Structure 1
Amino acid sequence: MEAPAIGGVRVRKGDGQTVRLRRGASLTDLAEKIGVEPASLVQVLFHLGEMVTATQSVADETLEVLGAELDYNIEVVSPEDEDRELLESFDLEFGEDIGDEDDLEARPPVVTVMGHVDHGKTKLLDALRHTNLVAKEAGGITQAIGAYQVATEVDGQDRSITFIDTPGHEAFTAMRARGAKSTDIAVLVVAADDGVMPQTIEALNHAKAADVPVVVAVNKIDKDAADPTRVRGQLSEFGLVPEEYGGDTQFVDVSAITRQGLDELLEAIVLTADAALDLRANPDMPAQGVAIEAHLDKGRGPVATVLVHRGTLRIGDSIVAGSAHGRVRALINDQGETVDEALPSMPVQVLGLTSVPGAGDNVLVVEDDRMARQIADKREARMRAAQQAKTSRRKTLDQLFEQLEKGETQELLLILKGDGAGSVEALEDALSKIEVGDEVSLRVIDRGVGAITETNVSLAAASKAVIIGFNVRPTPHATQMADRENVDIRFYSVIYQAIDEIEAALKGMLKPIFAEEVRGQAEIREIFRSSKFGNIAGCMVTSGSIRRNASARLLRDGVVIATTSIASLRREKDDATEVREGFECGMTLANYNDIRIGDVVETFEMVEKERS
């Protein structure tokens, strides 16, 4: 059955048939699935007002519009399904323990510390670990995810707890959400003097979405303004009812400064884990886990902080982490010590990867290096196609005609480099949410982890882009090249400084808005003829002021007769630069002599207006 001709193109209809496509699929991929020529799909889209080539990665919504037109149900495979299908093609499974019940052993709970910015999350972890991390962080805010193991004793038994510290600033929503997905229990830190804040609720929503139990740590109770009861009341409104009020959420009053309540907090975490969760894993299978954070170290190369979910990760294992792969050269625990293996729920830094994985990428041990490379290459190709579809600057015909009429819209191109994969992702996500209208747009053309290199500078020079360095610096050669090519490189260590400056830059690219402001009016009372100057208007200034050389219009019975300027202005016999309301003056209009008694001369000025 054929579809009605669209602009003379006939394509067979699908009768509601479902077609599954990967993210970033091209029209060629769709054509193969439905058995038509790619060129015909290009023509159909063209007549729908969209210009796309046959091999170009196409956005999901464009595929869906095309599918609806041809009566096909286009189903774009989710990233999770896409990855699962890829692993199944290698006879691998992610997220399942291999073996019987007898193979499972108890593992420590993984706890995510969440909450509003500056409510004391990292200070609390410092107190638990007896270290000082806050002093190392720019602006005193956490901008990467750290993972640490803490030992405690509950009911005479030694227990370990793995803590994940997530950033509190709003730009790191994606990283906080990822922390919740990697965790068994969420500890919600709320300052007793501040109470519940916007990001407290946001963190709570992430924990609810991940379906994990929540323990509330009411911090800063040593402060004079502390009111733990108010915090309990506020959180009760959001469904976290304290045990003492008849609910099932444990609230613990703590102080990171005086160390009050720390033991009670650790005990509450262990008891919650024992009561609500069955935390067991098979330590004897090939390791699986998640890359919590990753960065490029100058001396050690790509370094990934990996949290092992199941199995045991050992030195010498062939691993794949997202689109990165390699062989484990070294494992370093949270105390900086080298270890031979990492058991379930243990966070370690992994050395030996060929590139920097993304924060949140799954990590798994495979048979050999060859399989690891194949999986990584296929993942990278799929991610690249999805990214191209997401960032492609495709234009509809209407947009093209509009831009031809009024001139091309301005675009700020950025290259992002950061110290960690999570930071780069969070920065890109925050920048994409900046709104300054349709006249100006922002596009990230490249992103990466590590120092700013000559390759970044050459790309910036070719595309007239600005390089943003987040906690990284350029190499010496890159600095020289940037100076030579006049490439703008900006450095930041706190994320909201970067967001504010980029927003200001975007607003600076907007064309100024000018509005006309009337400065004065004068009525012509007499006309004097001059062989030298032409017609001279004898006027009375009725409002505002009249200035020499000001833009002016001549009004006759309220109708604009001419638009000109004040050529000369005299008061009595002297030249004047300005004549105010209530005074008489003589004036001539530039290149215009047809004036009459009763005409009104109105002067005006074009003034730049601030954008709201």
Structure 2
Amino acid sequence: MAKKLRIYELAKKYDVTTKKMLSLLNDEFGLDIKSHMSMLSGDDLAIVEEYFKEEEEEEEEEVIENTKEEKKKKDKSQNKDKTFNKNKKRKKNKKQNKRSKKSTKRQAKEDNNNDDGIIQIPESISVKAFADKINENANQVIMKLMGLGVMAGLNDQIEFDQAELIALEFNKEISKEEKLDEIEMQEKDLDFEDNEEDLVTRPPVVSVMGHVDHGKTSILDAIRNTQFASGEAGGITQHIGASTVNINNKEIVFLDTPGHEAFTQMRMRGAQSTDIAILVVAGDDGVMPQTIEAINHAKAAEIPIIVAINKMDKEESDSNRVKQELTEYGLISEDWGGDTIMVEVSAKTGDGIKDLLEMVLLVAEMRELKANPNRDAVGIIIEAQLDKARGAIATVLVQKGTLHDKDYVVTGSSSGRIRAMFNSKGETISEAGPSTPVQILGLSDVAEAGDKIFAVEDEKTARAYADRAKEQKREERLIQKSNTNLEDMYEGIEEGELKELNIIVKTDVKGTVDAVSSSFAKLSNEEVFVNVIAGAVGGITESDVLLAQASNAIIIGFNVRPTQGALQMAEENNIEIRTYSIIYEAIEDVEKALKGMLDPEFEEKVLGRAKVQQTFKVPNAGTIAGVLVTNGSIPRRAKIRLLRDNVVIFDGNIESMKRFKDDAKELNNGYEGGIGLEKFNDVKEGDELEAYEMIEKERDL
């Protein structure tokens, strides 16, 4: 059988990076190699191997010729060079740290002194403050405003558009001040881009995701067992919400996040904590609802996915079926001509686990993950909690620089000095470099998962940033944030703010997902792109709302309803959920919104929900549902839906309502009663009834 090698195997054989090997094969040999998983065989492989063999021989000859001369020189200058290089490196690191500490002050000075002469003005400003900003007499500014028909005193506010016209009268140019919140200001002031020459390779950070019971924890356990069985140093530990693995003398860091929802919460705060996602799919079970959610969340974060097809020790496991199902969600296996790595594993027997880890290292190598260890540390909060004995505890993933014991730090509205620092094995350590997970003590308050953490020069600086963030939080409690919805979308388009409308689609059957996604995609125009970021079968869950919040999306459902938790979360975060029973109605609504033509409409108001506990067959009345009201109330006059697994089975009127033997006008929260549905008898125990009414809503454009 002809010899065959994959590109990454060839790279490993000749000790070069996979990326360099790909470049060499395509540029020097003129081969059209698409991927590191591509095969090389026959004459092509022979020519490449001959090339490397000749190169090795030439290198050996060169080494022999130079050895004697180099040895003489080396003997004379070895001690001198060693001392010089050591001192030089120490000085460079010291200078680098000084540069990083002073960079904030330099940057702030540059931001405040615009060399182009453009003056920064907020959205709204008092006349006196505006006059001071443009360095003109306030009375002259008032006179100019009067000329525009604006009567304003020194303390009156003027809008930016008015200020811009007045500034032109004085031959001054102004621009709208960029408004950053305090968390953004922390990142702007305390972080900076590193020079390319200061970057070194860092370990990849991996999240394991997938459906419940598909083996996420078992795979981590299998990795640990593989490490011990092979006698390798390191291993895997899970003391602090993170795991560190050593494979082929290279480290991999696993974040033990409690699922894709926590993963997305971090991304919502602008934090990119993960480099690679391992999607675990059981070979005997295939793609399940949470598998699809995990795919959507990983894609939204724009990180590569490696699929681990687990439970391959079972006879009923079928990897081809899993691969086929995954193609429906844009994940096509490399051996099927796609670009997604899929590895067959068994957490039970350990088969394929080492291959999985090698694939992680391969993807990490292709991504060229690097960071500068010689600067003030920047990291991300993975977990945080309050310990009665030790105070506020935070698990930090260091992303840039080196975090030291006794460093002053700030994260959001919390600050402090690190009193103690522990690695993933629970051991006390004094410093931690990039991609190192550590647990720290010493913060003033419990930090928020997903917030960035920064090492700063002193306690005063840390406390000042934290206090400003705390004050802003206090103000934000009084102001409710609004997200994208169809009502105000056209206004956003006109103002040039909205360029993309993100939609999450949930339906009762798979065919509807594809039909709706295709229909919405056709609505895109020159001003706005309609983007279906996720589509799946089933009721609308809290995970969908969380994804909508992270992606600034609206949720559209067909013949499905949100869970009570999803409704509550959507209301708290102003996420719009729209449900329909007819596809074209939804398409029309989005199309009208794009054109700014949405008519005044009726808004649905959910009044309450009840659980069907028993069913009774009554002569001449059909099936009566014995219910317990679990939320709100069920009025006799209301419209009613029957939900089974959050899918709408019936939508119509209440025919009868009784409390014990008496007719009732309403059933309140916590009460039991009997409800008959108009011309519908297919009621089962466990079903839910949702009462609602339609309220006329004025549209204001």
What is the TM-score normalised by the length of structure 1?
A: 0.51
Q: What is the alpha-carbon distance in structure 1 between the residues aligned to residue 321 and residue 573 of structure 2?
A: 44
Partner residue in 1 for 2:145:
none
Matches within 5 A, 1:479-518: 508=630, 510-514=632-636
Q: What is the alpha-carbon distance in structure 1 between the residues aligned to residue 666 and residue 448 of structure 2?
A: 49
Q: What is the alpha-carbon distance in structure 1 between the residues aligned to residue 127 and residue 311 of structure 2?
A: 58
Contact in 2 for aligned 1:281/1:310 (Cα 8 Å): yes
Matches within 5 A, 1:206-605: 206-275=297-366, 277-390=367-480, 434-435=566-567, 508=630, 510-514=632-636
Question: Over aligned residues, Cα RMSD in angstroms?
Answer: 4.8
Name whichever structure is richer in helix by fraction.
2
Partner residue in 1 for 2:221:
126
Contact in 1 for aligned 2:210/2:291 (Cα 8 Å): yes
Q: What is the alpha-carbon distance in structure 2 between the residues aligned to residue 262 and residue 284 of structure 1?
A: 34
Q: Alpha-carbon deviations, 1:220-256, whole Å to 9, x = none?
A: 2223432211111122232222121122221111122
Contact in 1 for aligned 2:278/2:308 (Cα 8 Å): yes
AA aligned to 2:241 is G
Q: CA offset at residue 114 of structure 1?
A: 1.7
Q: Structure 1 pair 332/604, CA: closer, same or farther in 2 (3 Å)?
A: closer
Q: CA offset at residue 75 of structure 1?
A: 9.3
Gaps of 5+ in 2: 1-118, 133-158, 166-174, 227-238, 483-542, 550-561, 575-608, 614-627, 639-657, 668-674, 676-688, 692-701
Q: What is the alpha-carbon distance in structure 2 between the residues aligned to residue 116 and residue 186 of structure 1?
A: 14
Larger Rg belongs to: 1
Q: CA offset at residue 318 of structure 1?
A: 0.5
Contact in 1 for aligned 2:401/2:434 (Cα 8 Å): yes
Structure 2 SS opposite 1:129:
helix
2:200 equivalent to 1:109: no
Structure 2 SS opposite 1:377:
helix
AA aligned to 1:123 is S
Q: CA offset at residue 190 of structure 1?
A: 1.4
Q: Structure 1 pair 386/68, CA: closer, same or farther in 2 (3 Å)?
A: farther
% same residue? 45
Q: What is the alpha-carbon distance in structure 1 between the residues aligned to residue 214 and residue 386 of structure 2?
A: 30
Partner residue in 1 for 2:104:
none
Q: Structure 1 pair 188/266, CA: closer, same or farther in 2 (3 Å)?
A: same
Q: CA offset at residue 264 of structure 1?
A: 0.5
What is the TM-score normalised by the length of structure 2?
A: 0.45
Partner residue in 2 for 1:94:
191
Contact in 1 for aligned 2:240/2:439 (Cα 8 Å): no
Q: CA offset at residue 335 of structure 1?
A: 1.3
Q: Structure 1 pair 248/513, CA: closer, same or farther in 2 (3 Å)?
A: same
In the TM superposition, structure 1's runs of 4+ consecutive aligned residues that sit over 6 Å from their partners are 27-35, 66-76, 176-180, 429-432, 441-444
Q: CA offset at residue 168 of structure 1?
A: 3.1
Q: Alpha-carbon deviations, 1:462-511, whole Å to 9, x = none?
A: xxxxxxxxxxxxxxxxxxxxxxxxxxxxxxxxxxxxxx99xx9x964524
Q: Alpha-carbon deviations, 1:102-158, whole Å to 9, x = none?
A: x22211111121222232212212222359xxxxxxxxxxxx9922110011xxxx1
Q: Structure 1 pair 301/71, CA: closer, same or farther in 2 (3 Å)?
A: same
Q: What is the alpha-carbon distance in structure 1 between the residues aligned to residue 128 and residue 383 of structure 2?
A: 39
Structure 2 SS opposite 1:181:
coil
Higher normalized contact order (CA 8 Å, seq sep 6+, divided by chain length)? 1
Contact in 1 for aligned 2:378/2:399 (Cα 8 Å): yes
Partner residue in 1 for 2:265:
174
Q: Structure 1 pair 171/307, CA: closer, same or farther in 2 (3 Å)?
A: closer
Structure 1 SS opposite 2:464:
helix
Q: CA offset at residue 30 of structure 1?
A: 12
Contact in 2 for aligned 1:147/1:347 (Cα 8 Å): yes
Q: CA offset at residue 219 of structure 1?
A: 1.5
Contact in 2 for aligned 1:284/1:311 (Cα 8 Å): yes
2:240 equivalent to 1:149: no
Contact in 1 for aligned 2:280/2:310 (Cα 8 Å): yes
Q: What is the alpha-carbon distance in structure 1 between the residues aligned to residue 373 and residue 251 of structure 2?
A: 16
Matches within 5 A, 1:177-192: 181-192=272-283
Q: CA offset at residue 279 of structure 1?
A: 1.4
Q: What is the alpha-carbon distance in structure 2 between the residues aligned to residue 85 and residue 68 of structure 1?
A: 26
Q: CA offset at residue 182 of structure 1?
A: 0.8
AA aligned to 1:168 is G
AA aligned to 1:365 is A
